[in-house]
Amino acid sequence: MTCQETKVLLTEKSKEALGLSARNAELIAEVEKLRGELAQPEEELVQKDASLEKAKEELTKDATNSYLVGFDDVVSQVTCVYPKLDLSKIRLRKVVVDGQLVDEE
């Protein structure tokens, strides 16, 4: 190979290397862009999950409160209709087992 051919080949390979470097930089930028796009939905999911967990806790509290208020309301109604009836043993956490009022397990 002559000196001139070597210079031409070197010039071609240098241009090719520059092209590859530019393409490499483009691919790196594209990868970073995609990583950013992936991070955004993940953050949104984390926020939505936290929001749903908070809503679940609030609903659980509301349901529990409604149950307690309903129980107290029924006891008050029975006391109103049957004022001589002793309801002192009636508790929210009691159940009837074999005809006996026992603590709920």
Task: Decide if pLDDT at 26 tops 80.
Answer: yes
pTM of the model: 0.51
Complete DSSP assignment for 32-90: HHHHHHHHHHHHHHHHHHHHHHHHHHHHHHHHHHHHHHHHHHHHHHHHHH-TTS--TT-
Burial 1-32 (b: 16+ CB within 10 A, else e): eeeeeeeeeeeeeeeeeeeeeeeeeeeeeeee
Number of domains in the chain: 1
Average pLDDT for 18-30: 78
pLDDT at residue 60 in the model = 95
- Which range of residues forms the domain containing residue 19? 3-103
28 confidence band (pLDDT: 50, 70, 90): confident
* Nearest CA among 89, 105, 93, 21 for reference residue 64: 93
